[in-house]
Structure 1
Amino acid sequence: MLLVAIGCIIAGWRSLYPMPLYFPPQWGPTAVQGMMPLAIILFCAGLGPNHFRRWLRHPQLLGVLIWSGAHLLVNAEARSLILFGGLGLWALISIVWISIRDWGRVARPEANWQGTLTSLGLGLIATAVLIFWGHGWLTGIALR
């Protein structure tokens, strides 16, 4: 069901006309190259015992927030503001809401280095797949 929803979101984004809203910064593409691997690694760290979850509490939501901010640095049209800005706002509200709800009631999760290295490895593999194949297939915009 989740894949169907993601497919609908991407299809909707691709079907809209890219109406420019603002001028992206010149340093945007450089910033994205550093932010996206971090965002994907954090997204992969959302499950399992790892140090990202122990230190950050909400690494998956933080990854979505970084992902959305990075994409807004290089996509300056209305459809991107709706997609990336909306998901970034959702992630930010979720981080705050969950933190308030669970304050003092939920202990920090246990961590081990195997889980941390697994999250890191999966994140780097996912980054490579997106750079060399996946992003162009999903969005129609090749990265290389």
Structure 2
Amino acid sequence: MLALIAGLVMFLGIHSVGLFVPRWRGQMIVRLGPLAWKGLYTVVAVLGLVLIVYGYGQARLAPTWLWVPPVWTRHLAALLTLPAFVLLVAAYVPGSHIKARVGHPMLLGVKFWAIAHLIANGTLADLLLFGSFLAWAVALFIVLRRRDRLAGMTRSGRASRDVAVLVIGVVAWVAFALWLHEMIIGVAPFGAA
């Protein structure tokens, strides 16, 4: 469990530096140089991700159950991840109405993903992993939306981009829900018990 916690602190911490301690980030970029800062950022993020994967995998071997969710919650979680995939795609396809309206679709997608997994999983490790990502995404979304409003930022989009976002997002979700999730994670979202 310690590896999971350390990984979460590293991964989510490094992804929050620019928003919560921008002055320190600026000082580090000046001190180290932009390339060295990006290298350090990448190393910390990758190491954090490795620790999250390792720590979560270890915690799954001897789970501490907080609640036992019914099987149907796996199906609900699978459906709730559909908007998460669409929002993730919207973050990378420029010019969609979805991105214009949401502002930060990846963070909203992380919220959907985290809530879906909190509904369907009941161990302490699940609460730490998905709860941490949910809290991080909520905090960051609030900070970024406030910053956008203060800057008077406006966005626009085109319907053709929305179609692309929806098609790519749904196709990615189907592939992940029906095949990749079981292959990578070991759990079939729409499978039986």
With normalisation by structure 2, the TM-score equals 0.66
| Number of residue pairs aligned between Structure 1 and Structure 2 | 144
State the one-letter code of the partner of 2:103.
Answer: R
CA distance in 2, matches of 1:106, 1:60: 21
CA distance in 2, matches of 1:141, 1:28: 13
The alignment partner of 1:46 has SS state of helix
Q: Select 2:86's aligned residue among 29, 41, 44.
A: 41
Structure 1's consecutive aligned runs of 4 or more residues displaced over 2 angstroms after TM superposition are: 1-12, 22-31
Q: Select 1:13's aligned residue among 51, 56, 59.
A: 56
Tell me which protein shows more helix as a share of its residues: 2
Cα deviation, 1:103-139, whole Å, max 9, x if unaligned, reads 2314222201222111111211111111222111221
Root-mean-square deviation (CA), in Å? 2.1
Q: Identity, % of aligned pairs? A: 26
Q: Which runs of 5+ in 1 are unaligned?
A: none
CA distance in 1, matches of 2:187, 2:72: 19
Aligned to 2:77: 32
Q: Select 2:186's aligned residue among 134, 140, 143.
A: 140
Max Rg structure: 2
Q: Which runs of 5+ in 2 are unaligned?
A: 1-41
With normalisation by structure 1, the TM-score equals 0.86
Contact 2:101–2:155 under 8 Å retained in 1? no
Which structure is higher in RCO with an 8 Å CA cutoff and minimum separation 6?
A: 1
